Homo-oligomer: A and B are copies of this chain.
């Protein structure tokens, strides 16, 4: 099925539509809702919408549309949309696909600005469905109608009882109103997250199942949530976005507005991509690049329902961590050990306390207690009568400048001990509003009162110390993103001031010589090269060159020279040079008889560099992306590579360098000198600028190896390959 035309059209539509009508106020707060295809069978979508609207007390007009009925459950039924005379802003369409385009047209005529298309039967079913989808989108565009769906559960505005939806989104548990708005690319799985978040006491604002996203896409909805004053936190379940940069722009807007954007992205592995393909049929894309984009936008990435719920539960309290220094206090030493392991895995610092804190703890806790961080109160301290002492301990920890986040662990405590300690915790002075996370393993039925106290104070409670450490780490990451938000946004939006050479007017692969030439002209240092004609009978060291040299084949048709024996390193003298050149020519002709050979390259050897690889891919979803990793077969096997969407600035480049597992190499290990990471950082920034500027013609760029020389000696591209389109 060729859906490219539609895809392109949609991109255009979405772009234009964006210009036209990115205000979703009337969608989320409609004056009236038409249910087209309404009926009285509660197992069917059209009826479920009616029931939900009634059950949740929607105060706007409800207009069932179905020529077969005069009324449904007491509500008058309209023969067609045009019969509705009262203000109406949303049409929920519960009809077979074939009827949808004309209904959209009617919406346009009637001035209904938003439609929710519940049913499937479009693009995902084949060419006929695709044609229907194109007609639907064209009708929407012509009539100034924005569409949610098709093939979706619809949306709800929890605060105002607006239910333009069916299925699990409309059924109990009835969500409590709150600050979280969610866009979910799977109604069922997204609802699973939301139900469990509800159980953990999280309240919601808007929930949108975006379905096939024929018109309205995830980034537009994130923008709408950013603009909504009652949304404070945004959750997205994604399998794939259509336009990565549009997504990044919306995520940057969320970051700028300090509305945390929590994303669960699925379809990231071989089996996951296969499953997603038969589910949403979105292009899931390279997960490595999504991960990079999330980092570049301060997105809080979560990986499971639990994880999402824990983070949402922590964010609703509104206390934002300032850093990675955490303190924990428990009557169960084992839970502190377990937490400390998890803290280590999450790069949290269970650091030293001030003398003042320690002496207060020493005074208030049993003599056998351990008053260093983690603080072990020892078993039996959690008695009701110790609550005043406990409160003082909590206050000391909360005012300790070495503590950014606090974890008071209750472990197995229950009954009066638990509730009196929780009362003390909530009453404790917390002048800087540092985040607090409680661990309790005791089942809810034995800790009812204490849990209620925490819920009221919006202090999250977790069933395991590890989940607590996981959340603390994510809060700390978000704190870092907030701190650098201006830089993150500006880096990405920057206009290039880097020197870039004239782009060769060719298509396809440039050979090594031309590729390095282009890089050199763009200000990137490459090895000293000379091109010798391949048909020469007598190879000599070019004037001004010194041995040892590298000798390689030059051919745009041979990208992997080493594999076929077309590279010879450390060539030491004239005799070896001749032998090397002849060997290389012979090997190349044998391995690839049809390759066009442009000559023999002689390059001066750089022997003091650490081998790395820098690459650019032009991703279909995110556009130009820079990859950076260690060089050599071993490093490639270990996949020690990191990615960033281009362009980016020096801080991001430095992060890429430290992110590699092998990064200690650059500091100089085992007698090796430290490496020129400044030059490396600058090169990555320069490549990112080049990648962005050349986005319309650059398919791929590889510098392999890029040699990182000792500090002060820079970096040198020893081989390069550019693919243009």
Chain A residues within CB distance 8 Å of chain B? 43, 120, 125, 153, 167-168, 171-173, 184-193, 195-196, 198-199, 237, 239, 264, 266-272, 274-276, 278-280, 303-306, 330-345, 350, 368, 370, 372, 374, 376, 379-380, 383, 411-412, 414, 441-443, 446, 463-467, 560, 562-565, 630, 632-638, 640, 661-662, 664-665, 669-672
- Choose among B335, B464, B565 the residue that contacts A188 (Cβ–Cβ < 8 A): B335
- Choose among B189, B339, B343 the residue that contacts A411 (Cβ–Cβ < 8 A): B189
Given A333-B188, A411-B188, A638-B638; A341-B272 close (CB under 8 Å): yes
Q: Closest CB-CB distance, A201 to chain B, in whole Å?
A: 12
Q: Look across to chain B and name the residue whose beta carbon is closest to the beta carbon of A413.
A: B168
Q: Closest CB-CB distance, A218 to chain B, in whole Å?
A: 14
- Choose among B264, B271, B338, B465 the residue that contacts A343 (Cβ–Cβ < 8 A): B271
Q: Are B344 and A665 in contact (CB under 8 A)?
A: no
Q: Closest CB-CB distance, A209 to chain B, in whole Å?
A: 10
Q: Are A186 and B332 in contact (CB under 8 A)?
A: yes
Given A662-B634, A669-B633; A443-B198 close (CB under 8 Å): yes
- Choose among B339, B634, B671 the residue that contacts A635 (Cβ–Cβ < 8 A): B634
Q: Are A344 and B411 in contact (CB under 8 A)?
A: no
Q: Are A279 and B333 in contact (CB under 8 A)?
A: yes
Q: Are A379 and B635 in contact (CB under 8 A)?
A: no
* 23 residue pairs bridging A and B, Cβ less than 8 Å apart: A43-B383, A120-B368, A168-B412, A173-B443, A189-B333, A190-B334, A192-B442, A195-B443, A196-B464, A198-B443, A237-B334, A239-B337, A266-B334, A274-B340, A303-B466, A304-B338, A304-B464, A304-B465, A305-B463, A562-B670, A638-B638, A638-B640, A638-B662
A96 to B114, CA, bound (A): 76
A303 to B344, CA, bound (A): 14
Q: Look across to chain B and name the residue whose beta carbon is closest to the beta carbon of A280.
A: B333
Q: Closest CB-CB distance, A226 to chain B, in whole Å?
A: 24
A340 to B414, CA, bound (A): 39
Chain B contacts of A198 at CB under 8 A? 443
Q: Are A350 and B662 in contact (CB under 8 A)?
A: no
Chain B contacts of A466 at CB under 8 A? 303-306
Q: Are B464 and A340 in contact (CB under 8 A)?
A: no
Given A271-B350, A562-B671; A187-B337 close (CB under 8 Å): no
- Choose among B266, B669, B671 the residue that contacts A564 (Cβ–Cβ < 8 A): B671
A272 to B333, CA, bound (A): 11
Chain B contacts of A306 at CB under 8 A? 306, 463-464, 466-467
Chain B contacts of A239 at CB under 8 A? 334, 337
Given A305-B441, A344-B272, A662-B634; A189-B337 close (CB under 8 Å): yes
Q: Are A337 and B167 in contact (CB under 8 A)?
A: no
Given A185-B334, A441-B193, A446-B172; A271-B344 close (CB under 8 Å): yes
Chain B contacts of A441 at CB under 8 A? 191-193, 195-196, 305
Q: Closest CB-CB distance, A450 to chain B, in whole Å?
A: 15
Q: Are B280 and A173 in contact (CB under 8 A)?
A: no
Chain B contacts of A196 at CB under 8 A? 441, 443, 463-464
Chain B contacts of A633 at CB under 8 A? 665, 669-670, 672
Chain B contacts of A195 at CB under 8 A? 412, 441-443
Most buried by B among A184, A343, A633: A633
Chain B contacts of A337 at CB under 8 A? 186, 189, 239, 266-267, 272, 275-276, 279-280
Q: Are B279 and A336 in contact (CB under 8 A)?
A: yes
Q: Closest CB-CB distance, A76 to chain B, in whole Å?
A: 28
Q: Closest CB-CB distance, A126 to chain B, in whole Å?
A: 12
Chain B contacts of A411 at CB under 8 A? 168, 188-189, 191-192
A632 to B272, CA, bound (A): 35
Q: Look across to chain B and name the residue whose beta carbon is closest to the beta carbon of A640.
A: B638
Chain B contacts of A279 at CB under 8 A? 333-334, 336-337, 370, 376
A565 to B274, CA, bound (A): 53
Given A464-B305, A634-B665, A637-B664; A192-B341 close (CB under 8 Å): no
Q: Are B341 and A268 in contact (CB under 8 A)?
A: yes
Chain B contacts of A465 at CB under 8 A? 304-305
Q: Look across to chain B and name the residue whose beta carbon is closest to the beta carbon of A43.
A: B383
Q: Closest CB-CB distance, A634 to chain B, in whole Å?
A: 6
Chain B contacts of A372 at CB under 8 A? 278
Chain B contacts of A370 at CB under 8 A? 278-279
A441 to B665, CA, bound (A): 46
Q: Look across to chain B and name the residue whose beta carbon is closest to the beta carbon of A671.
A: B563
A177 to B145, CA, bound (A): 63
A632 to B665, CA, bound (A): 11
A190 to B441, CA, bound (A): 10
Q: Are A271 and B669 in contact (CB under 8 A)?
A: no
Q: Are B562 and A379 in contact (CB under 8 A)?
A: no
Interface pairs A-B: 7 shortest CB-CB: A186-B334, A188-B332, A189-B334, A192-B441, A269-B344, A279-B333, A272-B341
Chain B contacts of A562 at CB under 8 A? 670-671
Chain B contacts of A272 at CB under 8 A? 337-338, 340-341, 343-344
Known A187-B332, A198-B443, A272-B337; further 9 A-B contacts with Cβ < 8 A = A168-B411, A188-B330, A189-B332, A189-B337, A190-B334, A196-B463, A199-B443, A279-B337, A634-B665
Chain B contacts of A336 at CB under 8 A? 275, 279
A669 to B560, CA, bound (A): 13
Q: Closest CB-CB distance, A415 to chain B, in whole Å?
A: 9
Q: Closest CB-CB distance, A511 to chain B, in whole Å?
A: 20
Chain B contacts of A280 at CB under 8 A? 333-334, 337
Q: Are A374 and B275 in contact (CB under 8 A)?
A: yes
Chain B contacts of A338 at CB under 8 A? 189, 264, 266, 272, 304
A305 to B411, CA, bound (A): 11
- Choose among B125, B171, B345, B640 the residue that contacts A414 (Cβ–Cβ < 8 A): B171
Most buried by B among A237, A268, A333, A350: A333
A380 to B45, CA, bound (A): 10
Chain B contacts of A191 at CB under 8 A? 332, 411-412, 441
Q: Closest CB-CB distance, A233 to chain B, in whole Å?
A: 20
A341 to B272, CA, bound (A): 4
Q: Closest CB-CB distance, A586 to chain B, in whole Å?
A: 16
